[in-house]
Structure 1
Amino acid sequence: MNTKKQILALVAFSSLFISCTKNDIDIVPQNYTIPDTYTFDRNSTTSVDYSGQSSRISMLQEMGDYYKTQATAGNEVNETVLNNMYSNSGNPFSSTDLNTSGKQLKDKTAASTDYFTLLYGGGSTVEQASVRTFFQTQFTQGNNASLGNNAAVGVAGKYLDGTSTRLFAANGLEPQQVVLKGMMGASFMDQIANNYLSVNKLDAGTNVIDNTNKVVEAGKNYTTMEHNWDEAYGYIYGGDIASTNSFKFWSSYINQVNNDTDFNTLKAAIDLAFRKGRAAIVANDYTTRDAQIAIIKEKLALVPAVRAVFYLQEGKAKLITDNGAKAFHALSEGYGFIMSLRYTNKPGTNNPYFTKTEVDTMLNSLISGPNGLWDIDNISPKLDAISAQIATKFGFTVAQAATVN
């Protein structure tokens, strides 16, 4: 071969190598195993770590418990304490491990790669700031409600529910439930669907070639891609204690939705997709990995949709029998789950199932009267309309969702 031909051949070969994608460099072992549990090892040592996600789940749990215990004891719900919990400042938690973890919820609220960095899904930095401020407003609302009044039309205050005391804002929303369910979406869902399961994050930089060659992070036993996947998993299962059947947040609500015969394949589908996707990453099978991402995004989005409709309909029923505040607990949970819909990600679109504008319209409709939820005579038609809108979008009926326990 003459020199010119050799040069041309080398250029062609180099161009092919440089332009290759993760699909071009799949090196897939034949018949790789998908484990029965989420257990992955390297050199006989676990390669799974989602401790940061476990910490944030515990932080949100403690924030919710703080509202409840202070209210039931007749004490002030101190908004400074809640703000410190939100940003993990001033040693606000009962656990030293949480206080010194270096983790917080605030910087993971509306902070995903796709929606709030690359600005897919209609996100923006303005929205990010607005979402964080909204949650901090709920801390103030909890404080106002704890200061002695009984909840009444247009009055923030307390309501005795059995042996517990619940706190309600003047518009009837329960700040504790808005924070818990809303942050499940704005933090946990957003991080799962739009950050750690984002191909933009999984494949960033040299992640693909490093994972293919099993280059682990410095001082760690996992590749960056493996760890990103584990962190998505941790935002669902990182708070579970299997020995006591204790399940937190998304894991708990996946179980609840799965208990209904209309949705009883949901849990198995999500669990399998996480295990299969992680095994595919180990095997450099990126095509299978991406297929599992789509399954997880689709199935997980169904959970807030079903639970939103369930709580709207439960609240509607209690408005008839209770005529007020007790029903507002369920409606506040529904409100929070509707918030979560903004952070879902419809496979193949990099957009939520409902836009921010659509979600805001539903939320505003719920509390649009002069006295919010207290305008009970006008609420039921709104609850039915919103329920039907959500159910239609996801392909189930209101009746199906309303029977989930």
Structure 2
Amino acid sequence: MNKTKQFLALVAFSSFLISCSNDDSSSATPEYTVPATYTFERNNATSIDFSGQTTRIAMLQAMGDYYKTQANAGVAIDASALSNMYSNTGNPFLDTNLNTSGKQLKDKTAASVDYFSLLYGGGTTAEQVSVRSFFENQFTEGNNASQGNNASAGVAGKYIDGSSNRLFAANGLEPQQVLLKGMMGASFMDQIVNNYLSVNKLDAGSNKIDNTNKVLEAGKNFTTMEHNWDEAYGYIYGADDATNNVYRFWSSYINQVNADTDFNTLKADIDLAFRKGRAAIVANDYTTRDAQIAIIKEKLALVPAVRAVYYLQEGKEKLVTDNGAKAFHALSEGYGFIMSLRYTNKPGTNNPYFTKAEVDTMLNSLLSGPNGLWDIDNLSPKLDAISTQIATKFGFTVAQAATVD
């Protein structure tokens, strides 16, 4: 065969291979529809279940309500009662469904696969113990503040804020708000982005093969991968009641950040990514699934960042207008959201936007005065420095986060 014929034969053979490749539907992106709402069914029945997340959101809400109820009634906070709620021990909740749920918050605090598993080394057992002890200490701080004293520099006590009593630790932090915002990060955020949306969790064992072949969990209408994705979704939206305009924790704060015109695509971006990722799982399109994970990680991390800056700046303003404890409510919320930054996950790194050490430095700076937040004269520069540090990391300005347009 001469060179010309050899060349033509090679071209023909290459064309045949390309044609065969194009005909191989397994290499093509599958076609599927992304639903307009987070609704997925199999055999005319829902394939979604995030009841455990709804339960844990209700538990945290109940703990926050307990602080408020006791404070307004002038009754001492029972640290043991809160500790029992945290671990769901001894039927501590007024709602018997929570008591019998078999769920708790404590074992989901600093407990993700990526950050706190020995396999992946993102955190340590010592850190996990420390974080859980920190929240337990907020129960003790609540008890100390509810003994009848008025809050003042170095003195734990109550502060009358309108028609409500607020309880503050001796350093000016409000234990209720530190618990609520801190747990949003250490439990809910950590579980969302470092556990249920972790590829290490989604694809663990035979999960990907089982999902591809639609092998359902025993007695359930979903695959394990589908269920993991739904549980991440549930930690944000699991307690929503749009009819009555009720949104809890991350869902509520997504709405609040989204209300600022500087961030007004946030809600739609997160919602679409969850729907698109879930549809991709059903269609075995793991490339698209992973792209949606990155979007959710990036967009969700923006929420504690923006709200941390917002509350630090709100507290700074109230230091001037209210001269003290009323500002500490906002600063305590900011403190909790700064805590949450340690549990974010920057796409492509499997690390938080701020390390634990960086977060600890910011938190320590806030409380570095002789009496913590009560060191009012030196507090404002710290608030500005921390606000700028957070805003710069995420690519927005302090002014953008500080006001809702």
When the two structures are superposed, what TM-score results if normalisation uses the length of structure 1?
0.93
Task: Measure the CA separation in 1 of the matches of 2:269 and 2:349.
Answer: 21
Question: Deviations 1:98-152 (Å, cap 9, x if unpaired)?
Answer: 1000000000000000000046574111000000000000000000000110001
Aligned twin of 2:231: 231
Q: Is the 8 A contact 1:122 1:356 kept in 2?
A: no
Aligned twin of 1:193: 193
Task: Measure the CA separation in 1 of the matches of 2:382 and 2:26.
Answer: 51
Aligned twin of 1:401: 401
Task: Name the SS for the 1:160 alignment partner.
Answer: strand
Indicate how the Cα distance of structure 1 residues 94 and 25 shifts in structure 2: closer, same or farther if over 3 A, else same. farther
Extract unaligned runs of 5+ from structure 1: 1-23
Task: Measure the CA separation in 2 of the matches of 1:76 and 1:27.
Answer: 64
Aligned twin of 2:10: none
Task: Measure the CA separation in 2 of the matches of 1:209 and 1:110.
Answer: 29
1:134-213 maps to which residues of 2 (within 5 A)? 134-213=134-213
Indicate how the Cα distance of structure 1 residues 27 and 39 shifts in structure 2: closer, same or farther if over 3 A, else same. farther
Aligned twin of 1:123: 123
Equivalent position amino acid for 1:265 in 2: T
Task: Name the SS for the 2:160 alignment partner.
Answer: strand
Aligned twin of 1:322: 322
Aligned twin of 1:379: 379
Aligned twin of 2:277: 277
Indicate how the Cα distance of structure 1 residues 335 and 76 shifts in structure 2: closer, same or farther if over 3 A, else same. same
Equivalent position amino acid for 2:72 in 1: T
Extract unaligned runs of 5+ from structure 2: 1-23
Q: Is the 8 A contact 1:311 1:330 kept in 2?
A: yes
Question: Deviations 1:169-191 (Å, cap 9, x if unpaired)?
Answer: 00000000000000000000000
Cα distance, 1:242 vs. partner? 1.2
Task: Measure the CA separation in 2 of the matches of 1:379 and 1:284.
Answer: 53
Cα distance, 1:31 vs. partner? 2.5
* Greater C-alpha Rg: 2
Equivalent position amino acid for 1:264 in 2: N
Cα distance, 1:94 vs. partner? 1.2
Indicate how the Cα distance of structure 1 residues 59 and 393 shifts in structure 2: closer, same or farther if over 3 A, else same. same
Indicate how the Cα distance of structure 1 residues 182 and 218 shifts in structure 2: closer, same or farther if over 3 A, else same. same
1:248-287 maps to which residues of 2 (within 5 A)? 248-287=248-287
Indicate how the Cα distance of structure 1 residues 230 and 331 shifts in structure 2: closer, same or farther if over 3 A, else same. same
Question: Deviations 1:303-327 (Å, cap 9, x if unpaired)?
Answer: 0000000000000000001110000
Q: Is the 8 A contact 1:27 1:285 kept in 2?
A: no
Question: Deviations 1:380-401 (Å, cap 9, x if unpaired)?
Answer: 0000000000000000000000
Indicate how the Cα distance of structure 1 residues 262 and 217 shifts in structure 2: closer, same or farther if over 3 A, else same. same
Equivalent position amino acid for 1:85 in 2: M
Task: Name the SS for the 1:254 alignment partner.
Answer: helix
Task: Measure the CA separation in 2 of the matches of 1:298 and 1:215.
Answer: 31
Equivalent position amino acid for 1:109 in 2: T
CA RMSD across the alignment? 1.4
Question: Deviations 1:229-252 (Å, cap 9, x if unpaired)?
Answer: 000000000011111010000000
Task: Name the SS for the 1:342 alignment partner.
Answer: helix
Cα distance, 1:64 vs. partner? 0.2
Indicate how the Cα distance of structure 1 residues 327 and 26 shifts in structure 2: closer, same or farther if over 3 A, else same. farther
Q: Is the 8 A contact 2:196 2:229 kept in 1?
A: yes
Equivalent position amino acid for 2:207 in 1: N
Task: Measure the CA separation in 2 of the matches of 1:292 and 1:249.
Answer: 22
Task: Measure the CA separation in 2 of the matches of 1:233 and 1:359.
Answer: 26
Task: Measure the CA separation in 1 of the matches of 2:205 and 2:26.
Answer: 17
Aligned twin of 1:14: none
Q: Is the 8 A contact 2:114 2:122 kept in 1?
A: no
Cα distance, 1:96 vs. partner? 1.0
Task: Measure the CA separation in 2 of the matches of 1:296 and 1:152.
Answer: 42
Question: Deviations 1:340-361 (Å, cap 9, x if unpaired)?
Answer: 0000000000000000000000
- Percent identical among aligned pairs is 82
Q: Is the 8 A contact 1:26 1:285 kept in 2?
A: no
1:5-404 maps to which residues of 2 (within 5 A)? 30-118=30-118, 120=120, 122-404=122-404
Aligned twin of 2:5: none
When the two structures are superposed, what TM-score results if normalisation uses the length of structure 2?
0.93
Q: Is the 8 A contact 1:27 1:283 kept in 2?
A: no
Aligned twin of 1:15: none
Equivalent position amino acid for 2:66 in 1: Y
Equivalent position amino acid for 1:356 in 2: K
Equivalent position amino acid for 2:182 in 1: G
